[in-house]
Amino acid sequence: MRGYLAAVRIALRAIVRSKLRAALTVLGILIGVAAVVIVVALGTGVRNRILGEISGLGASSIYIFPQSTQASGLRRRESVRMSEADGLAVLKESTSVAALSPFSSTSMQIVAGEANVATQVMGVTRSYLSILSYRVAKGDGWTEADEQLKAKVCVIGETVREDLFGSSEAVGQYIRIGKHPFRVIGVLEKKGQSPFGEDQDDRLLMPIGSFRSRVVPSAPGKVQMLVAAATSERTVDRAVEQIDRILRQRHEIAPDDEPDFVIRTQAEFRASQERILDTLTMLLSSIAAVSLLVGGIGVMNIMLVSVTERTREIGIRMAIGASEGDILVQFLVEAITLSLIGGVMGLGAGLVVIKVLAAALGWNMTLPVSAVVIAVGTSATIGIVFGFFPARRAAHQDPITALRHE
């Protein structure tokens, strides 16, 4: 076990001597390590992006939908199952709900002058903007008075603005929705795509009262859904409990019965997305790991060839006093050196690919330090694991047989 530096020198010289062979072996490891590095970076990139977008939807938001059950279907008319009154009660009684908005929407054709476009028309209250972190970039949102008067005003998303008004000023213009002209009073700040690929700027918002009386005529107070925000991300669970209790009470549903509503939270959604992402990353990583394994087998193969070719050299070294340990270390160091060269080059290649991908996709992909450690650590481990068997074979040669080898 003397002189690891000498062993490294011997290893490098042996590698340089059979350049092409070494290069091919290194390539195997390089591809494996690069694959792992790229998969890890892609994984974190996708993760950051999707989870970031989900948070952008309002990390503490809660959605309450009506749900038809056998019991409720018999007991009451479907149309009044979820109402603005439910929302007001929740807002009033639940200590953990900070804001709440009723929500109804429909997809329809809207017209401004010559231009017309199909978009999602939504009836909400002003709280909706804050719950889902929308900001009015130009003009203003509507007022409480507008809500009470069911005023014909609307706030539009950037996509709608672009499609209807192009380069001309949108605020102050009129959009015809069904039979009624609505005045544009504000334009929302651009939000981009949602994690589901939905264009979050392709929408038109108006007071819920205006929606009910002028867009989709429906029973007073009826809404499709309630959107709420907990007081913080930590109080989401408590808010859900409180909403459940309040709505059961209002809908006269016993605690053990199936409710006629469903409560979904962004946190839940985020967790399920994270599970999917984890599974995906795991899957891709194992594929990358297989290529690393193949690289390792390449190292083992080349080391076995090297040991056979250098049997006589092993015999000479043993004759002049190399111990089995010395020979073992020599070949092990050679295998590790090969693997490490592949590992470092693979890391470099991976980084280049990540840079290119990040630029092409416009994603923010960072390689965690752990991935660098993993790349170098794994390649060294591969050298040790796959180099050990050939190295041991070299070390266990009988000196005299090795010397006679031609």
Q: Which is nearer to another protein, 220 or 325 (CB)?
A: 325
Among residues 325, 355, 359, 368, the one that binds another protein under rule CB under 8 A: 325
Q: How many helices (H) and strands (E) in the chain?
A: 14, 10
- Find the DSSP H helices in 57-175: 70-75, 84-93, 127-131, 144-149, 158-165
User: Is residue 214 a contact residue for another protein (CB under 8 A)?
Assistant: no
Each residue 282-321 as x (binds another protein by CB under 8 A) or -, in order, gives: ------------------------------xx-xxxxxxx
Gap between the Cα atoms of 14 and 110, Å rounded? 76
Asked whether 293 and 32 are in contact (CB, 8 A), the reply is: yes
Q: Which is nearer to another protein, 258 or 398 (CB)?
A: 398
User: Is residue 393 a contact residue for another protein (CB under 8 A)?
Assistant: no
Query: Distance between terminal CA atoms of the chain?
Result: 28
Q: Which is nearer to another protein, 6 or 271 (CB)?
A: 6
Asked whether 383 and 338 are in contact (CB, 8 A), the reply is: yes
Q: Which is nearer to another protein, 10 or 100 (CB)?
A: 10
Which residues, 77 to 106, sit near another protein by CB under 8 A?
none
**Residue 324 CB burial class (10 angstroms; 0-12, 13-18, ≥19):** middle
Shortest gap between Cβ of 391 and another protein (angstroms)?
Answer: 15
Among residues 149, 250, 403, 405, the one that binds another protein under rule CB under 8 A: 403
Each residue 11-40 as x (binds another protein by CB under 8 A) or -, in order, gives: --x---x-----------------------
Among residues 139, 195, 348, 399, the one that binds another protein under rule CB under 8 A: 399
| Phi, psi of 58, rounded to the nearest 5 degrees | 105, 100
Q: Judged by CB under 8 A, how many residues of this single chain contact another protein?
A: 23
Tell me the two tokens of residue 88. Answer: 């007001």
Shortest gap between Cβ of 305 and another protein (angstroms)?
Answer: 17
Gap between the Cα atoms of 119 and 100, Å rounded? 24
Tell me the two tokens of residue 354. Answer: 């990540």
Gap between the Cα atoms of 390 and 297, Å rounded? 11
Shortest gap between Cβ of 358 and another protein (angstroms)?
Answer: 45
User: Is residue 326 a contact residue for another protein (CB under 8 A)?
Assistant: yes
Where does this chain bind another protein (CB under 8 A)? 2-3, 6, 13, 17, 312-313, 315-326, 398-400, 403
